[in-house]
Amino acid sequence: MSRPSVMQVDTEALCRIADGGAVLGAGGGGNPYVGRLMAAQALAGGKTVPVVSLDEFADDELILPIAMMGAPAVMVEKFPSGNEIPSLVAMMERLMDRKVSAILCIEAGGLNSTIPFAAAAYMGLPIVDGDAMGRAFPELQMVTFTLGGIRATPMAMFDDKGNGATFDTISNKWTERLARALTIEMGGSAMVGLYAVTAGQIRDLLIKGSLTMAHRIGCLMQEHGADAARVLAETFGGAILFRGRVRDVARRNEGGFTRGTLSIEGTGDFRRRDLVLSFQNEFLAAEEDGRVLASTPDLITLLDANTGEPVTTEMVKYGLAINVLGLPCAPIWRTPAALELVGPRYFGLDVDYRPL
């Protein structure tokens, strides 16, 4: 295969992508520690996976997104068995009845930016430099592909025990409903393949360069440690929304999601102020006295104030010193149609979206 690659990803690079992916994951997309473990396993023995620009693929080449679906709080305790990927790939190839040319990350995240590398390594395929969210969102219809009228199905799904299922639905919202019900029954998480697309279908829909961006973020984090939040805000046009200490976390696993709210007591420049964050796998909104500082689809991410590490919604706990980083979402999410799909009102928040 002589396709030119943007980068060759080895275990070390994939650990950076896990960290950067967790920042872009906006509180969700899977735990970066689990992601680093997956990375080490997937690329053990010096294996590498080429990351390739979408431009290098012909219009009719088939691209297969792979992801973990479920509640992040479950995924940190119930690891993939490793057998899901071969089973899933075999099932998707049978469904599509076509050869796959590349793997794609459907969303950014500590896990969902790394799991697809395991699939790519297993299949000996490159991975496309991009994703369908530019962040993580909790529901599977929440991808730019839905805006372009692309169907989520045929979709395949495997659990760690070896149970598999496929779907063929009338809408991406129905795919979400059915797949979510099965994810719960499978124990709270499952490996999925969905939105199989040709390169030609997604030229205007792919959020391009998100893997190299995740890698760059991961490298900046490693370099700057506790100061990473400031550096990332400056580098990517974001802002430090808040600094403080976690005072309370109300978290529950409900309907296949990790949901809840989080309150943070300001420290330093933010003393005597309080921030409340709501989440459904990912952070949805950051509010101070009823004033919204940031909301979905913009990215709200927590970084540990002492280490600079991303703190996901299933891991955040009482007493943790954190920086709340806001980053602008990809421009495609700011259209009215996109806001209907992923804006604050979809999630039941009585708030108009105001861009960061």
Q: Is 295 exposed, middle or buried (0-12, 13-18, 19+ CB in 10 A)?
A: buried
161 binds a second copy (CB under 8 A): yes
276 binds a second copy (CB under 8 A): no
* Residue 167 or 270 with smaller CB distance to a second copy: 167
Q: Which of residues 176-215 bind a second copy (CB under 8 A)?
A: 177-178, 181-182, 184-186
What are 136's two structure tokens?
A: 């993580």
According to DSSP, residue 119 is labeled H
Supply φ then ψ for residue 261, to 5 degrees: -135, 165
| Min separation Cβ 146 and a second copy, Å | 17
Q: Which residue has the tokens 């495997």?
A: 158
Binding-site residue total for a second copy (CB under 8 A)? 19
Q: In the set 12, 60, 168, 352, which binds a second copy (CB under 8 A)?
A: 168
Among 83, 78, 121, 79, CA closest to 103: 121
Supply φ then ψ for residue 45, to 5 degrees: 75, 25
164 binds a second copy (CB under 8 A): yes
91 binds a second copy (CB under 8 A): yes
Q: In the set 64, 75, 100, 165, which binds a second copy (CB under 8 A)?
A: 165
Q: In the set 163, 222, 261, 267, which binds a second copy (CB under 8 A)?
A: 163
Q: Is 240 exposed, middle or buried (0-12, 13-18, 19+ CB in 10 A)?
A: middle
* Residue 1 or 170 with smaller CB distance to a second copy: 170
| Min separation Cβ 88 and a second copy, Å | 11
User: What is the largest distance, in Å, between two alpha-carbon atoms of the chain?
Assistant: 60
Binding residues vs a second copy (CB under 8 A): 91, 161-170, 174, 177-178, 181-182, 184-186
